[in-house]
Structure 1
Amino acid sequence: MAGLTAGKILRFDEVRGYGFIAPEVGDEDVFMHANDLVDEKYLYQEGSEVEFFMEMGEKGPKASHIRLVHQSTSHQLPRGGLAARTVSAPSAPDTERPAPATDDFTRDLTEALLDSVGSLTGDQIKQVRACVVDLARARGWVTS
């Protein structure tokens, strides 16, 4: 195996399981495959900085042991899901607003998920949305 190399993901198709990395050094794109990812594949997005070991595959340079260098925590659930952290109710605003209806909250949440992490699958969106809506109901943040 060659030494550790850094680069940015040019594109990665989570469904097909492959993509390409632009290495910091060199001008040839490096092939990446989902089997070589260290983190969950949905975290690998276009523009993400990664470290990897460069190998020569049958068709050219290939990355192995691909690890994200920096993960934005704003779009991630904590390890272990929502139960892994304590969520406190927001402080009361100066003017009390009624809690939104669950349908409105669900629609807004779906749009937020699509806007923030475009590579989520429909099933992933449904799972996250159901978990967040249950939490919102339990906290009284939405009305039925």
Structure 2
Amino acid sequence: MVASGKLVSFDGSRGFGFIRPEDGGPDVFVHVNDIGLGEDELRQGRVFEFDITEGDRGPKAINLRSPRGQHGRPKPVTEGARLTAGEHTRLITELLLDASPALTAGEIVAIRERLTDFAAEQGWIDD
């Protein structure tokens, strides 16, 4: 089963964490040996697509990947379509994390807020 959700916790020293599925339901266990990504890509708050399998103690996420089109770019928005502020925020966050993984959370929030304000001023997003 394919799902998407946000990484809500990850303990690098123990090699596991949990993803909160976007469609609701209980958090899904994720272990570093089952993800197909480097630990440096596992940042709290990042959204992933993943497959769900049944583990020893319940649902388990495997084969994590970014919910993107090819070459690390966000999926295209249909011409004339507008993003919600939430969609815009999520896309900007993912782009910033991909462009510069060393950015702090505070830096990402400051850049993201300014870009969202600018997009709203231009009428590019729905409030």
**Coarse TM-score class (shorter-chain normalised):** 0.5 to 0.7
Which structure: greater strand fraction? 2
Where in structure 1 are there 5+ consecutive unaligned residues? 77-112, 118-144
The equivalent residue for 1:60 is 58
CA contact (8 A) 2:10 2:18 kept: yes
The equivalent residue for 1:116 is 104
Q: 1:29 aligns with which of 24, 27, 36?
A: 27
For the residues of structure 2 that align with 1:64 and 1:27, how far apart are their CA atoms?
A: 17
CA contact (8 A) 1:14 1:42 kept: no
Q: CA RMSD in A?
A: 1.9
1:66 deviates by: 1.3
For the pair shown, which has the larger CA radius of gyration, 1 or 2? Answer: 1
**1:64-79 equivalence runs, <5 A:** 64-69=62-67, 70=94, 72-76=97-101
1:38 deviates by: 2.2
The equivalent residue for 1:17 is 15
1:42 deviates by: 1.2
**1:91-130 equivalence runs, <5 A:** 116=104
For the residues of structure 2 that align with 1:35 and 1:16, how far apart are their CA atoms?
A: 11
1:27 deviates by: 1.7
TM-score by length of 1: 0.48
CA contact (8 A) 1:17 1:34 kept: yes
Deviations 1:90-120 (A, max 9, x none): xxxxxxxxxxxxxxxxxxxxxxx5x727xxx
Matched-pair identity in %: 35
1:7 deviates by: 0.3
For the residues of structure 2 that align with 1:75 and 1:59, how far apart are their CA atoms?
A: 36
Give the number of equivalent residue pairs: 78
Structure 1 stretch displaced more, 48-57 or 63-72: 63-72
1:68 deviates by: 2.9
TM-score by length of 2: 0.54
CA contact (8 A) 1:12 1:46 kept: yes
Is 1:43 the equivalent of 2:52? no
2:16 maps to a residue whose letter is: Y
